[in-house]
C-alpha cells in the first residue's frame, strides 16, 4: 500500500525551498490531469446512475413512464396517515416488513458467509504458503470455483442440490448420514444453508488468494528467529503471523463484505422468491422490474447503498483499517 | 402436406405483396420443452418463403423471469427484438408497448376462439395474436392405476388416497423413489396457477373477482390450501416447493410419480422415445373438491406480439400471422401437443390421431379460469406474487392458511386503494 494521497502538503521539505514547492505544485497538477479521464469515467458510470437512482426514489416513476416522474418527497421511504379512529397507519419502505426481512436475511447471510470464508481462506492460504511439490498447480486449481461465473456455478449447484436427482443427497444417503432425501432449496430451514454452502465454495478461493498475498509479504527471517528461540508454532501463528497479515486480512474482509451485502445472482438462481433467502438486492430488483413500482425499487436500492456505506464506515472505524496503509 | 404447402405459398404471397425487401427480424421465445426447436423449424420455412431472416432469442422457461426481461427491454425501447412470445396474462401490463394488430389481422382473427382474442384485446387494441392455448391436465399412470384397480380420481381427496395407497405399496415392492403426486409449488407464477385451481374447484372464488372485489379470504379457500399442505412430505416430495413445470416433469417422466399436474406440452414429451413412461399414461381433467363440481383449470397460453419499437413492423406482423396460422398451430398440436386456438383444428382427424386427448380438451379450456390479470391491470404481477407467497408460506409451514389469507387480504386491499 503506497501513499498516493494527492492532498498531502509538501510539508517540511517544501518549506525549506520555494523551488521544491513549485515543482510539487506542478506534480500535483499533472497528477490531476492524468487522473481526470478516470474520474470522468467513474462519474459517468458510477456517479450518474447512483444520483439518478436516488432522484427516482423521491418520485412516483414507473418503468414505462420515467420522464413523467413527479416529485413525491419521502413518501416512498415513510409516510403515515391518521385514520378517523385515531389509529395511525404507516406506509413506505421503512414500514414494510418484507424489506426488514430482506435486511435481516442479508445481514445474516453476510455475517455467516464472510466469517466462514475468512477462516477457511486463512487455512487454505497457510497451506498454500508452505513449500511442497506441485504447489503452483494446487494454487491454480484452487481458484477454479472463483473463475466460474456465478450464474453457471449456481445453476450447477441447483442440480447437485436437487432433491430427487441431486448428487449431494445421493452421497449423503450412501454414507448413511441422512435417512431421506432433503429438499435443500425448498425447505425453509435449509434454503439459507444451501445458499451459504454454494457461496462458501465459490468465494473461499478469493479470500485465500488475498490472504496469501499478505502472507508472502511476511519476511521469513522472523520465522527463523522464532524457530531458533523455540517458540511453539501456535504461538508463532497468534503472535507473529496474524498481526503481520492483519492489514491484508482486514482489507480482504471489507471486499468480501461489500460483495456479500449486495448478493444477488446466486440467490436469484438458486432460491428465487423464497422469503427465507430474499436479500435487499433481490427485493429491489423485484420492485424495479417485476412489479409496477420502479420508484419503490429505487428507494430500496438507495437504502441498500446507505446501509452498505454505513456498515463499511463503521467497520473501518472499529477495525481501525487504514486503506492508505499503516495504523490510523 | 399438400394443403400445408398450398397454405404456405398463400402466406408467402401475402407477405411478398406487403414487403418490398428482405428484413432481419428477431423473435423472443421461452425454452420450455421443445418450444424453441419447433419454432426454429417453422422459422426456416418462413425464411424460405419470404426471404426474411429471423433469429431466435431464447428466454428462460420461468415465465416470471421472462416477463421482467421483456419489461426491461420494452422500457428501454429496445429495437433488437421485433416479436415477443407473451403469456396470456401479460397483455394488460405490456399493451402500450405493442403494436395494435386489429387492422392487420382482421382477415384471420375470426378463426380463433373469441374468448382468447378478447383476452388479448386491451382498450379495443388487439395487442397479440394467439399461438396456442393451455389448460392443465391431471396426468396419471394407467399401468399403476390398473394394477391396483383404481380409476382416475374425481376429487382431490380421492387423488390423495389413491396416490398414498399406490405410493406405499409400490415402495414396499422396491420402488423407493416413487411419489404419489407432483405439481408446481415453487414461489412463482406457476404456483398462482396451481393454487387458483385448488381454490376455485373448492368454491373459494378466484382471488380477485372480475368486478374487482378481493374474495380470497374465505374458509373454502383456506381449506383448499390446508388440504394441499397435508400432501407435502406425504404424497408429494418436499422438493415440490421448489419445482416448476420442468422439475415436476423430470420426476414424472423418469417414472417416479403416479400423478402429475402439468400443461399439455408434457403429453408429447412423455410419449417421446427417451421417456420412461411412454405409452403408460393418460390424462384427465383436474379433480374437484366434491364429486360433480365443475373442474377448474387455469387458463394459460402463449401469444405473439409485435414491439412498437421494431424497425420492420410489417415483416414482424407477417411473422406473427405465420406462426399463429392454422397450419403452424396444427403442426404444434401434432408435434408438441399444444392446444390450438383455432376452433376447426379440434375436429381435425390428424390432430386427433396424434393427440387422442385433444378433442376432449376443447370444453375444458373453454371453461378454464382466467387469472385476475384483466381486473388488476398493471398491478397483476404484484397481486400474483403476494398470493403465491401466502400459499408458499402456508405450504412450507409458515403460518396457517387462514392466517396467511387474512394477511393477504389486507395487503391486497392496501394495494387496490380506491380502485385497481
CB contact under 8 A, B238 and A187: yes
- A-B contacts (CB, under 8 Å): 92
Q: Which chain A residues have a beta carbon less than 8 Å from that of B97? A: 64
User: Is residue A150 less than 8 Å (CB to CB) from chain B?
Assistant: no
Per-residue confidence (pLDDT) for residue B171, from 0 to 100: 94
CB contact under 8 A, B385 and A286: yes
Please compute, for residue B190, the number of CA atoms within 13 A of its CA located in the half-sphere on the CB side: 25
What are the tens digits of pLDDT across the range B172-186? Answer: 999 888 999 999 999
- How many Cβ atoms are within 10 Å of B63's Cβ, its own excluded? 22
What are the tens digits of pLDDT across the range B30-65? Answer: 888 888 999 999 999 999 999 999 999 999 888 888
Identify the CA nearest to B34 among candidates B58, B14, B53: B58
Determine the residue among A60, A162, A186 to mutate to test chain B binding: the one whose Cβ has the most chain B Cβ atoms within 10 Å: A186
Instruction: Give the cell for residue B107.
Output: 382477415
For residues B105-109, give the mean pLDDT: 94
CB contact under 8 A, B64 and A63: no
Angle between helices B219-231 and B380-395 (to 10 degrees): 50
Nearest by CB to residue B378, choosing from A162, A188, A292, is: A292
Instruction: Give the cell for residue A90.
Output: 404507516
Residue B345 has pLDDT above 90, yes or no: yes
Name the minimum distance, in Å, from the CA of A256 to any CA of chain B.
28
Per-residue confidence (pLDDT) for residue B61, from 0 to 100: 81
Helix extents (H) in A217-241: 220-228, 233-236
Q: Which chain B residues have a beta carbon less than 8 Å from that of A293? A: 382
User: Is residue A289 less than 8 Å (CB to CB) from chain B?
Assistant: yes
Name the minimum distance, in Å, from the CA of B83 to any CA of chain A.
19
Name the minimum distance, in Å, from the CA of A39 to any CA of chain B.
27
Query: Which residue of chain B comes nearest to A62, CA vs CA?
Result: B75
Identify the CA nearest to A178 among candidates A186, A187, A169: A169
**Could you tell me the pTM of the whole model?**
0.83
Q: Which chain A residues have a beta carbon less than 8 Å from that of B389? A: 273, 275
Nearest by CB to residue A164, choosing from B71, B75, B177, is: B177
What span, in angstroms and rounded, lies between the C-alpha atoms of A304 and A310? 10
User: Is residue A271 less than 8 Å (CB to CB) from chain B?
Assistant: yes
| Backbone angles phi and psi of A150, in degrees to 5 | -55, -40
Listed in sequence order, the residues at least 6 apart from B412 whose beta carbon sits closer than 8 Å to its beta carbon are B208, B214, B216, B383, B386
SS3 label, residue B161: helix
HEC string of A18-37?
Answer: HHHHHHHHHHHHHHHHHHHH
Listed in sequence order, the residues at least 6 apart from B227 whose beta carbon sits closer than 8 Å to its beta carbon are B156, B157, B160, B198, B202
- Tally: H helices and E strands in chain A: 15, 2
What span, in angstroms and rounded, lies between the C-alpha atoms of B333 and A245? 66
Per-residue confidence (pLDDT) for residue B12, from 0 to 100: 54
User: Is residue A275 less than 8 Å (CB to CB) from chain B?
Assistant: yes
CB contact under 8 A, B237 and A183: yes
Nearest by CB to residue A290, choosing from B250, B385, B393, is: B385
Per-residue confidence (pLDDT) for residue B5, from 0 to 100: 55
A194-209 burial code (b ≥16 CB/10 A, e <16): bbbbbbbebbbbbbbb
What span, in angstroms and rounded, lies between the C-alpha atoms of B16 and B8? 12
Beta bridge partners of B130: B303
Q: Which chain A residues have a beta carbon less than 8 Å from that of B65? A: 272
- A 184-203 residues inside an 8 A Cβ radius of B: 185-188
Cell 492532498 locates to A7
What span, in angstroms and rounded, lies between the C-alpha atoms of B300 and B218? 25
What are the tens digits of pLDDT across the range B357-413? Answer: 898 888 888 778 999 998 998 899 999 999 999 999 999 888 999 999 999 999 999
Nearest by CB to residue A164, choosing from B185, B237, B392, is: B237
Identify the CA nearest to B287 among candidates B182, B158, B183: B158
CB contact under 8 A, A291 and B385: yes
A87-110 burial code (b ≥16 CB/10 A, e <16): eeeeebbeebebbeebbebbbebb
Helix extents (H) in B254-379: 265-270, 313-323, 326-336, 349-354, 362-366, 373-376
Q: Which chain A residues have a beta carbon less than 8 Å from that of B243? A: 186
Q: Which residues of B touch A (CB under 8 A)?
A: 62, 64-65, 67-68, 71-72, 74-75, 93, 96-97, 177, 185-188, 237-243, 247, 250-251, 256, 378-379, 381-382, 385, 388-389, 392-393, 396-398, 414
Identify the CA nearest to B20 among candidates B53, B55, B54, B51: B51
What span, in angstroms and rounded, lies between the C-alpha atoms of B328 and B306? 18
- How many Cβ atoms are within 10 Å of B247's Cβ, its own excluded? 23
Instruction: Give the cell for residue A22.
Output: 513549485
Cell 404471397 locates to B13
Name the minimum distance, in Å, from the CA of A184 to any CA of chain B.
8
Cα B408 to the center of its chain, rounded Å: 25
- How many Cβ atoms are within 10 Å of B222's Cβ, its own excluded? 22
DSSP state of B149: T
| pLDDT one digit per residue (tens) for chain A, 328 residues | 444 444 445 454 445 556 778 888 899 999 999 999 999 999 999 999 999 999 999 999 988 788 888 999 999 999 888 878 878 888 889 999 899 999 999 999 999 999 999 999 999 999 999 888 888 898 889 999 999 999 999 999 999 998 888 999 999 999 999 888 888 988 888 899 999 999 999 999 999 999 999 999 888 888 889 989 988 989 999 998 999 999 889 989 998 999 999 999 999 988 877 888 999 999 999 999 888 889 999 999 999 999 999 998 998 888 776 555 544 4
CB contact under 8 A, A164 and B250: yes
Nearest by CB to residue A183, choosing from B71, B97, B242, is: B242
Amino acid at each position: 500500500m503506497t501513499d498516493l494521497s494527492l492532498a498531502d502538503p509538501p510539508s517540511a521539505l517544501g518549506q525549506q525551498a520555494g523551488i521544491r514547492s513549485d515543482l510539487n505544485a506542478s506534480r500535483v497538477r499533472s497528477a490531476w490531469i492524468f487522473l481526470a479521464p478516470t474520474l470522468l469515467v467513474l462519474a459517468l458510470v458510477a456517479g450518474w446512475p447512483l444520483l439518478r437512482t436516488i432522484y427516482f426514489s423521491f418520485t412516483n416513476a414507473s418503468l414505462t413512464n420515467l420522464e413523467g416522474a413527479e416529485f413525491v418527497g419521502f413518501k416512498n421511504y415513510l409516510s403515515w396517515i391518521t385514520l378517523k379512529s385515531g389509529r395511525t397507519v404507516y406506509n413506505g419502505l421503512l414500514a414494510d416488513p418484507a424489506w426488514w426481512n430482506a435486511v435481516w436475511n442479508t445481514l445474516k447471510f453476510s455475517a455467516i458467509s464472510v466469517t466462514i470464508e475468512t477462516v477457511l481462506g486463512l487455512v487454505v492460504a497457510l497451506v498454500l504458503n508452505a513449500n511442497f511439490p506441485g504447489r503452483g498447480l494446487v494454487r491454480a486449481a484452487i481458484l477454479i470455483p472463483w473463475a466460474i461465473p456465478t450464474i453457471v456455478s449456481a445453476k450447477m449447484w441447483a442440480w447437485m442440490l436437487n432433491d430427487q436427482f441431486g448428487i449431494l443427497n445421493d452421497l449423503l444417503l450412501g454414507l448413511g448420514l441422512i435417512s431421506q432425501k432433503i429438499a435443500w432449496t425448498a425447505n425453509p430451514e435449509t434454503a439459507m444453508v444451501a445458499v451459504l454452502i454454494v457461496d462458501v465454495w465459490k468465494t473461499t478461493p478469493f479470500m485465500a488468494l488475498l490472504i496469501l498475498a499478505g502472507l508472502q509479504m511476511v519476511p521469513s527471517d522472523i520465522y527463523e528467529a522464532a524457530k531458533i528461540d523455540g517458540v511453539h508454532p501456535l504461538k508463532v501463528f497468534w503472535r507473529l503471523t496474524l498481526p503481520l497479515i492483519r492489514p491484508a486480512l482486514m482489507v480482504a474482509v471489507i471486499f468480501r463484505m461489500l460483495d456479500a451485502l449486495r448478493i444477488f445472482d446466486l440467490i436469484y438462481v438458486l432460491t428465487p422468491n423464497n422469503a427465507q433467502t430474499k436479500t435487499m438486492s433481490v427485493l429491489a430488483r423485484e420492485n424495479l422490474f417485476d412489479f409496477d413500482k420502479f420508484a419503490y425499487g429505487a428507494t430500496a436500492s438507495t437504502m441498500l447503498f446507505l446501509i452498505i456505506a454505513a456498515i463499511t464506515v463503521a467497520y473501518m472505524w472499529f477495525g481501525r483499517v487504514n486503506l492508505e496503509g499503516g495504523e490510523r | 402436406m399438400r394443403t400445408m404447402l398450398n397454405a404456405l405459398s398463400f402466406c408467402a404471397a401475402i407477405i411478398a405483396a406487403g414487403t418490398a425487401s428482405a428484413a432481419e427480424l428477431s423473435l423472443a421465445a421461452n425454452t420450455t420443452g421443445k418450444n424453441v426447436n419447433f419454432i426454429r423449424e417453422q422459422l426456416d420455412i418462413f425464411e424460405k418463403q419470404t426471404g426474411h431472416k429471423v433469429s431466435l432469442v431464447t428466454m428462460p422457461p420461468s415465465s416470471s423471469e421472462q416477463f421482467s426481461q421483456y419489461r426491461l427491454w420494452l422500457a428501454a425501447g429496445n429495437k433488437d427484438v421485433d416479436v415477443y412470445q407473451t403469456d396470456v396474462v401479460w397483455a394488460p401490463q405490456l399493451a402500450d408497448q405493442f403494436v395494435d394488430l386489429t387492422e392487420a389481422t382482421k382477415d384471420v382473427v375470426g378463426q380463433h376462439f373469441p374468448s382468447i382474442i378478447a383476452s388479448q384485446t386491451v382498450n379495443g387494441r388487439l395487442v397479440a395474436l394467439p399461438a396456442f392455448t393451455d389448460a392443465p391436465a391431471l396426468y396419471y399412470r394407467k399401468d399403476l392405476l390398473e394394477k391396483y384397480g383404481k380409476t382416475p380420481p374425481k376429487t382431490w381427496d380421492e387423488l390423495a388416497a389413491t396416490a398414498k395407497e399406490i405410493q406405499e405399496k409400490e415402495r414396499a415392492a422396491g420402488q423407493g423413489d416413487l411419489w404419489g403426486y407432483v405439481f408446481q409449488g415453487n414461489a412463482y407464477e406457476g404456483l398462482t396457477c396451481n393454487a387458483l385451481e385448488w381454490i376455485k374447484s373448492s368454491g373459494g372464488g378466484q382471488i380477485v373477482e372480475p368486478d374487482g372485489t378481493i374474495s380470497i379470504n374465505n374458509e373454502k379457500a383456506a381449506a383448499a390450501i390446508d388440504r394441499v399442505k397435508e400432501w407435502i412430505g406425504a404424497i408429494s416430495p418436499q422438493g415440490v416447493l421448489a419445482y416448476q413445470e420442468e422439475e415436476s416433469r423430470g420426476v414424472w417422466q423418469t417414472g417416479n410419480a403416479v400423478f402429475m399436474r402439468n400443461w399439455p406440452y408434457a403429453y408429447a414429451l412423455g410419449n417421446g422415445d427417451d421417456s420412461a413412461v411412454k405409452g403408460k399414461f393418460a390424462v384427465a381433467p383436474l379433480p374437484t373438491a366434491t364429486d360433480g363440481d365443475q373442474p377448474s383449470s387455469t387458463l394459460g397460453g402463449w401469444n405473439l406480439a409485435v414491439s412498437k419499437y421494431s424497425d420492420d413492423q410489417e415483416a414482424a406482423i407477417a411473422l406473427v400471422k405465420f406462426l399463429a396460422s392454422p397450419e403452424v398451430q396444427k403442426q404444434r398440436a401434432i408435434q408438441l401437443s399444444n392446444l390450438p386456438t383455432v376452433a376447426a383444428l379440434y375436429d381435425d382427424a390428424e390432430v386427433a390421431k396424434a393427440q387422442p386427448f385433444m378433442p376432449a380438451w376443447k370444453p375444458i379450456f373453454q371453461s378454464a379460469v382466467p387469472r385476475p390479470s384483466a381486473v388488476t391491470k398493471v398491478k397483476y404481477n404484484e397481486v400474483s406474487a403476494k398470493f403465491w407467497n401466502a400459499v408458499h408460506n402456508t405450504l412450507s409451514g409458515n403460518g396457517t392458511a387462514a392466517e396467511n389469507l387474512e394477511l393477504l387480504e389486507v395487503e391486497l386491499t392496501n394495494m387496490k386503494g380506491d380502485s385497481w
